[in-house]
């Protein structure tokens, strides 16, 4: 279990690439939020696709890092990066690696928090749109009320002509 200087550089580069990917992810989420607020749907879709690709890239980078860690320590190694460095890397490398790990941890937490907040906003917005469409749909239908034999109010909905359906289609 002797690491080479090249392996150390590979590990450092992998952590730095993952940090850069998380930075890019956060930027894309902010851009997508602005596009959503401005109702620029085409841009929202493009940014969403880019954000998904960044997630795939982050997963690939983690897999590469796992391979580097396995090359350094063999099959049996702690998967958590900080434990790996503490247990499997010489103390001379700790000063260089631990600040990178802290930066990565911070970015991962920020990415998770931002993603959850954005997801809540999207779900809330979707609920508003759905309820508004439901109101438009209900308003475009004639409601007739009547009583049943037992005295209970019964409502029946009858679609109105083409004017209302055009409104619903446009919404």
If asked whether residues 65 and 111 sit together in one domain, one would say yes
Q: How confident is the model at residue 12 (pLDDT cuts 50, 70, 90)?
A: very high
If asked whether residues 90 and 16 sit together in one domain, one would say yes
CA–CA dist 68, 77 (Å, integer): 11
Q: What is the CATH number of the domain that holds 110?
A: 1.20.58
If asked whether residues 87 and 164 sit together in one domain, one would say no
What is the pTM for the complete model shown? 0.73
* pLDDT for 49: 95
Give φ, ψ of 157 to 5 degrees: -110, 130
Q: Which has more pLDDT, 132 or 12?
A: 12
CA–CA dist 98, 82 (Å, integer): 7
Q: In the chain, which ranges are continuous DSSP H helix? A: 5-37, 41-73, 81-88, 91-139, 162-170
Residue given tokens 């109702």 in the structure block: 39
Grouping H, G, I as helix, E, B as strand and the rest as coil, residue 40 is coil
Range of the domain at 133: 5-139
CA–CA dist 158, 69 (Å, integer): 67
Cβ–Cβ contacts within 10 Å for residue 94, how many? 13
51-104 pLDDT tens trace: 999 999 999 999 999 999 999 888 888 888 999 989 888 888 999 999 999 999
- Average pLDDT, integer, range 119-148: 73
């Amino acid at each position: 279990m002797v690491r080479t200087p090249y392996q150390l550089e590979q590990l450092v580069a992998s952590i730095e690439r993952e940090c850069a990917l998380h930075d890019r992810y956060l930027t894309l989420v902010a851009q997508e939020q602005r596009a959503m607020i401005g109702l620029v749907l085409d841009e929202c879709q493009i940014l969403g696709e880019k954000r998904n690709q960044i997630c795939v890239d982050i997963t690939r980078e983690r897999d590469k890092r796992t391979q580097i860690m396995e090359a350094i320590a063999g099959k049996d190694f702690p998967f958590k990066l900080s434990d790996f460095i503490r247990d499997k890397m010489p103390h001379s490398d700790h000063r260089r690696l631990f600040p990178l790990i802290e930066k990565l941890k911070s970015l991962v937490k920020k990415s998770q928090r931002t993603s959850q907040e954005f997801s809540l906003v999207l779900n809330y917005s979707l609920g508003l749109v759905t309820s508004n469409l439901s109101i438009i749909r209900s308003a475009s239908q004639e409601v007739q009320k009547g009583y049943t034999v037992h005295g209970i109010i019964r409502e029946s909905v009858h679609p109105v002509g083409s004017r209302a359906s055009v409104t619903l289609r446009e919404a």
